[in-house]
Amino acid sequence: DCFVRKGKRGGAWCSRLRGYSCAGEREVLPLVTISCNFSRAAEGRPKLLSTSEVKTLFHEFGHALAGFLSRGPYPQVTGSFPRDMVELPSQLNEHWAWEPEVMKHYARDYKTGRPISDALIAKFKESENFLKGLYLTDFYATALLDLEWHTVLRPVEGCDVAAFERAFLKRYDFPEHTALRFRTTYYNHIFASSYPAQYYSYTWSAVLDTDAFAAFTGTGDIFDPETARRYRRHILTEAGYDEPMAQYVRFRGAVPDVKPLMRRYGLAE
């Protein structure tokens, strides 16, 4: 359900209509959906996706893979990713979206069918970290604001939300130009969803996903079958079987290293 329509809520998400189950000899496989809000094309024009929409589609399909491939005899455990690991499959899947080998498969001229040129891929790669420092400042301010609200010890009546945010930014010495990614009044992730005090988890998942992708690139093949089998078994299929870090180490062979994330952000060689 990819495109915007009247009455549809905003954002993008992956839903599981039916999880995996097995009773006796009867095996029931998962049913998973992806919903997005991509822009509709003008009448008579092709429905093309922006780079942001491509990233969203790969992201949500990463969640879908976890839903498709979860297996196990206990429904409360099967496919049960802890909150600070739930974005690993989705964010890891984004990496393939920007690999030249993959881009040449889907990024084609809609008139001629020619794949994207190497020169355009190079420009795209060069722009990846443009204003990255500004983005990270805004993101981490938002993640810390989440924790700030959830450490308030007493109910706040008549609270001046804007003043609360200003005092928070000043206390942490954020730059004056910091623009919170989500302001308190529409911070759905922490007040109306399953992310209370856990918005930081996107960053921890980024540590995991960059380290996990390094497992593929380290082989010289981003589609390395053996690495993919370990990832499928220990992460996508067996998530929830054991402690999250134990599952990750079974896949990776070691605890995650932060260096791949620093390189991705352009903060390390």
Among this protein's residues, is 60 annotated catalytic?
yes
DSSP output for 77-127: TTT---GGGTTHHHHHHHHHHT-HHHHHHH-B-TTT-PBPPHHHHHHHHHH
**75-98 core/surface letters (b: 16 or more CB in 10 A; e: else):** eeebbebebbbbbbbbbbbbbbbb
Phi, psi values for residue 138, rounded to 5°: -65, -40
Angle between helices 201-217 and 132-149 (to 10 degrees): 140
CB atoms within 10 A of CB 237: 19
Selecting among 60, 94, 165, 238, the annotated active-site residue is 60
- Reported as half-sphere exposure (CB side, CA atoms, 13 A), residue 45 has a value of 8
C-beta separation of 216 from 224 below 8 A: yes
Write down the number of H helices and E strands in the chain. 11, 4
Task: Give the residue numbers annotated as catalytic, written as ranges.
Answer: 60
